[in-house]
Structure 1
């Protein structure tokens, strides 16, 4: 099993991380998928290491070189995990257990350094015992190991200030016969000042010296450089010839002569032999590698595309698969293929309006093809003419198209007069937008909210000259066509505030306060509502409720500074509404929730008088009294008054409220209430709900003996809830001396009533047996078998899944 952790990169040595080992892993041969090697994966703080049991093969992958880690679809052998590196290594491991695969995947992603400072080479600290063996690198020590300085070679400090070469160390090793003038002359004749200096000395006297190309051009020469090479030749008494190896192709070296560089002229340097190595320029090699990578990426892309096409052909009904394919094509910037894929997806999923919208937006925004987008919208509306979202998006698209045409006209530098005089510019005059609206309201009738939605969209494009007259036209349609519709009149009343969001955004940009302006607009809306309520043709009950909804909405959006004013306004409107119409119990509760305590008492009194059988109102009335008074007698009297109504007395809401109060103030009364609630003649739903609560209260206030007595008494009074049994079992399990017999009895009783419908009950039973009877495998197996034969099919699936995850079998 793998742990989730970030390794300590400052450890003193490479080590196998704790528990970071997975056995029986298959390493698939990338050239022959039928061949594989079975071994073990180890994770160190720096590497992923795969080792086969016989030690024939080891694969080391540095964490910092990992480019990607991909989980592949599960196969019959296990869960494949593919690791790709930045130097084109690809290793595919098949891990037997899915959980191990998931752990390894997560751990490898965590182990990849996210910055160069976290690379192991920067944070490594050698242990103390290595300091005696490994000294820090010293250049002088390395040369001493080769026997330098000696009679032929010396240390030269002429580069101590990097005067000769800024890429060489301060101390350089040169032949003993050289002079400083010779060295400075040679450095000026070499590219970047890199004169010939000692790199390696063999015990037989042969040496390797390195330098850059000379600045020889076609005929230039340097006597100091020629002398320096002769001094190097004399350091080896066993050879009369010096070999100069140029790692470039000969044609490259010759071409450099035209730029004043090149290579050593054999006519000027005696006893030398040239050899060219055909190694390309590093920049060319890098370009080839990048091109090769692009070729590989293109090949992979085409393969993935073929797989997607095959999958989409086979699983046409899976719309998420189509969307994943399209998203992949977008990331690859293959927009033309994405467009055709949208078309193919719509052939199968033509009944999904949102897919048509997505395809049309893609055509308009990405492909910049308004005609294709319009065609898609029109086709969709022919298939689904009653889909409101389609009409609204089509309407918005035509407005966006007007904006696009307007920008195009600005680029073409057409004057306003030219545009107005051109009868063909119907687009810029909003004619197409008007046609879309007319068709929409003709197709979808008797829906004023839908019509008003067009107004909200139009306000986003208020820069167009035709927008304001068009909005007036829409409101005139609402007035004429829906004169007796309360919702339509409510929308008309709210017109002053329909552009509120834009006002706030613009004010925020200018750092202005629009609170006062919005308060004036709100007052206009309230006046509009009260004017509409005088209209005899409108359903006043519905319009009052819409008016109340508006007031509550504005209260919820109000800031702390003007909240008091909004509360006062809401209270006034609620009061007026209660005089004109019959408020529902929910409306009374909303009214109570917004006003202060004293006003709430008056309102709730009025509410309970109007609805004497409503338990929620009586519960609120009781709660308000509990908040105000700690006098237990007064509360008891109010509770007695509440329970005079049989419907209210049956409410668990009332009983929970009064018992919560009694638990804090009157121990004896609490027990009386619990006992009263458990009477056989009492309401069954209240009895069931209060049984667990009664048990918990006895557990907190009395002995375990009394808890057991109560459980025995209440469990005999059927039915009981599952929560009642589970609470009792938890109480028994929390004791220091567990009575397994009583726990087993409770489980068995619960199974009689809830064995078919509760997988959690069986899981708790098995978990208890495993903890307290871990060696009794026969009992555990028997309970497991009973669960399989008892549970319903849906619960059985969940039971098997949870058993596997918790390892309960």
Structure 2
């Protein structure tokens, strides 16, 4: 092995000599490079190979290349690149080839290889890398798309990109993303040819000898892909995605019209079709050929007309397709337009009225989704329509009795309207709902009580909640309870709550850290209490949390009543309890602290 490494180091000498001769590196720097290169070579030539060693090798060489680039720019020297940079690039490619051959399944390694070649290697070399990668990872459509895009955009080879897409579709005949990108590529190709032809004609050059097929210029290849793809992949979503791509190309008006007509013919029963058709009205002018409006009033009138046309389509849609999904599309549109900023009070009022009417109609037909009940209630609340908001929230809780969200909405309305029935409705919600999903309601009740009721009432709610909520959800509740106790009644109350909960597992680390922080904020901070909190925290989290052990050691060292002599014992206890990476992290942090770096 030593002979191989020596040979590889000797192979470097010509480039290193050139670096020193032209003044990019000093003799001392060349020696340092040789030493580092020797270490890296040993690691990638030994019997047991590790991927990290190859990555470190490549990264070092890339850093060296970038440093050479910067120094060339500084002194203005651009010669001898074949002897220096090309030699390094060739060596790095060899390392990448070895690594990718050994760890074939590591996609990230292949992508790193691709990124390196894009920056430092030739296009022909990168093409070979893509071929090798796709031979192994032919099951990943994203890699085929990446390779085809590179062929199209960087190598400017439409034919190579087309061949890659066709090969990819043999492996993935039902992949929507492949068809979308292939469709886009053919339209880009047609647009490029049209621009070329236009430039030749502008320059008054003879284009008759050049092959510019009228069918290709019109996007006929893209049309073929569209027809084939929609026969394989069904559904309005895919159809709309192709139409969105076609709309990016002005020359493809006929193709856009064809896709649009097919969408309406093939997917009449899909809400997405109606949603797309309706929203399209926003982009269409009222009268083709009219000049855009200039005054504020004209702009408002135009926006109003467009939105009315959209709503007319939606109204037809919910009659033709009276489903919850269709109403959801309609209501989402109404909410989007209402939240859109405008200085016109009239337009804003029209949008609000339209939205309220749509909500009411969907509710009467019992086709209003749960999330929309929430939106409707919140919209009414924003306009201080408390009675109407309560009616809507009540209807929502009747329809979705098992929904925590709907009960929260109802309680939000009651709290905002300062109703005397808040506590009664909280109790009703806990009767109707399963205990395991009630945590948000317990927290809301406690937060409301803190502002509206006495401390005794609030504490009673927290005590009920701690008994009712079990498992991991109770962790958040205990943290909230402790925070409230300190905020409302100070340290003594917080300590009493801590004592009452200290055996009620599970806990979070923050539960103990909060208590430690509360103790530190007191004028007479007692070290005995801090030790008690740390010991209880370590009983729960001592095997996984290295920071707790470190903080405990620092406390003994820094507190006026601390006992530095205890630190050794704490250290050895930590080493016994901590496992794996947590133990290594603790050792590193402890060493840094002793050296004064932490």
Give the TM-score normalised by structure 1.
Answer: 0.56
- How do 1:195-594 and structure 2 match up within 5 A? 290-292=78-80, 295-332=83-120, 334-413=122-201, 425-445=214-234, 447-462=235-250, 464=251, 467-497=252-282, 517-535=302-320, 538-559=321-342, 561=344, 563-594=348-379
Are the aligned partners of 2:145 and 2:165 in contact in 1 as well (CA < 8 Å)? yes
| Alignment partners' CA distance in 2, 1:382 and 1:60 | 53
* 1:12-69 CA-partner distances (Å, limit 9, x unpaired): xxxxxxxxxxxxxxxxxx98999xxxxxxxxxxxxxxx9xxxxxxx9699xxxxxxx9
Whether 1:621 and 2:410 are equivalent positions in the alignment is: yes
Query: Match for residue 780 of structure 1?
Result: 570
Aligned-pair CA distance for 1:764? 4.8
Is the alpha carbon distance of 1:542 and 1:33 closer, same or farther for their aligned partners in structure 2, counting shifts above 3 Å?
closer
Greater share of residues in strand: 1
Higher relative contact order (Cα pairs below 8 Å, separated by 6+ residues): 2
Are the equivalent residues in 2 in contact too, given 1:747–1:765 (CA < 8 A)? yes
**C-alpha separation between the residues in 1 aligned to 2:38 and 2:570?**
32
Question: Is the Cα–Cα contact under 8 Å of residues 692 and 723 in structure 1 kept in the other structure?
Answer: yes
Per-residue deviation at 1:728? 1.9
| 1:346 Cα offset (Å) | 1.5
Alpha-carbon separation, structure 2, partners of 1:486 and 1:749? 58
Question: Secondary structure at the residue paired with 2:218?
Answer: coil
Where in structure 2 are there 5+ consecutive unaligned residues?
A: 1-8, 14-25, 44-55
Partner of 2:479: 692
In 2: Cα distance, 1:444 partner to 1:516 partner: 41
Is the contact made by 1:353 and 1:380 (CA closer than 8 Å) also made in structure 2? yes
TM-aligned CA deviation for residue 803 of structure 1: 4.9
Gap change, CA 1:552 and 1:332, over 3 Å in 2: same
Give the distance between the partners of 2:500 and 2:233, measured in 1 at CA. Answer: 63
In structure 2, the residue corresponding to 1:684 is in which secondary structure?
Answer: coil
The CA deviation at 1:373 is 1.0
Whole-angstrom distance in 1 between the partners of 2:244 and 2:490: 66
- Report the equivalent of 2:517: 730
| Partner secondary structure for residue 104 of structure 2 | coil
- Residues 307/570 of structure 1: CA separation in 2 closer, same or farther (3 Å cut): same
Q: 1:391–1:440: 8 Å Cα contact kept in structure 2?
A: yes
Contact kept? 1:662, 1:670, Cα under 8 Å: yes
1:528 Cα deviation after fit: 0.8
Shift of 1:534: 1.8
Residue aligning to 1:606: 392
Query: Which protein is bigger by CA-based radius of gyration?
Result: 1
Q: How does 1:711-722 map to 2 (within 5 A)?
A: 711-722=498-509
- 2:443 paired with 1:656: yes
Instruction: Name the CA distance, whole Å, in 1 between partners of 2:37 and 2:83.
Output: 26
> How far is 1:689 from its partner?
3.5
- Render the CA deviation track for 1:342-378: whole Å, top value 9, x for unaligned: 2222212222222222221222222222111110111
Q: Which digits, 9 at most, give the CA deviation of each residue in 1:252-273, with x for residues without a partner?
A: xxxxxxxxxxxxxxxxxxxxxx
How big is each residue's C-alpha offset from its partner over 1:742-793, in whole Å with a ceiling of 9 and x where there is no partner?
33333444445555665665555455456544432432233213422xx5xx
Per-residue deviation at 1:413?
Answer: 3.6
Q: Which residue of 2 aligns with 1:743?
A: 530
Q: RMSD of aligned C-alpha atoms?
A: 4.5
Q: Which residue of 1 aligns with 2:20?
A: none
Aligned-residue offset at 1:450: 0.5
Q: Is the 8 A contact 1:577 1:583 kept in 2?
A: yes
Q: Is the 8 A contact 2:145 2:181 kept in 1?
A: yes
Aligned mates of 1:71, 1:805 — CA distance in 2 = 30
Instruction: Please give the alpha-carbon distance, in whole angstroms, between the structure 2 residues aligned to 1:494 and 1:689.
Output: 44
Cα deviation, residue 390, structure 1: 1.1
Q: Would the aligned equivalents of 1:551 and 1:570 in 2 still touch at CA under 8 Å?
A: yes
Q: Is the 8 A contact 2:542 2:548 kept in 1?
A: yes
- Is contact 1:489–1:532 with CA below 8 Å preserved after alignment? yes
The answer to whether the 8 A contact 1:615-1:647 is kept is no
Aligned-partner SS, 2:247: helix
Comparing both structures, which one devotes a greater share of its residues to helix? 2
8 Å CA contact 1:674, 1:690 repeated in 2? no
Q: For residues 255-293 of structure 1, what are the alpha-carbon distances to aligned partners after superposition, in whole Å with 9 as ceiling and x for unaligned?
A: xxxxxxxxxxxxxxxxxxxxxxxxxxxxxxx99x75346
Shift of 1:722: 4.3
Distance 1:546 1:293, change over 3 A: closer
Deviation at 1:598, TM superposition (A): 2.6
1:83 is matched with none
Q: 1:783 to 1:78 in 2, by over 3 A?
A: farther
Q: Distance in 2 between matches of 1:560 and 1:779?
A: 70
Which secondary structure state, in structure 2, belongs to the residue aligned with residue 775 of structure 1? helix
How far 1:455 sits from its partner (Å)? 1.0
The answer to whether structure 1 residue 797 and structure 2 residue 578 are counterparts is no
Q: How big is each residue's C-alpha offset from its partner over 1:601-630, in whole Å with a ceiling of 9 and x where there is no partner? A: 41333322441544433433333444454x
Count of matched residue pairs: 524
Residue number in structure 2 paired with 1:66: none
Residues 573-582 or 738-747, more deviating? 738-747
The 3 A distance-change label for structure 1 pair 705 and 565 is: same
Distance of 1:70 and 1:568 partners within structure 2: 77
Matched-pair contact (CA < 8 Å) for 1:395–1:433: yes
Residues 1:649 and 1:700: Cα distance change in structure 2 (over 3 Å): farther
Shift of 1:716: 4.2
Distance 1:77 1:306 in 2: 13
Deviation of 1:570 (Å)? 2.0
Q: Show the counterpart of 2:19.
A: none
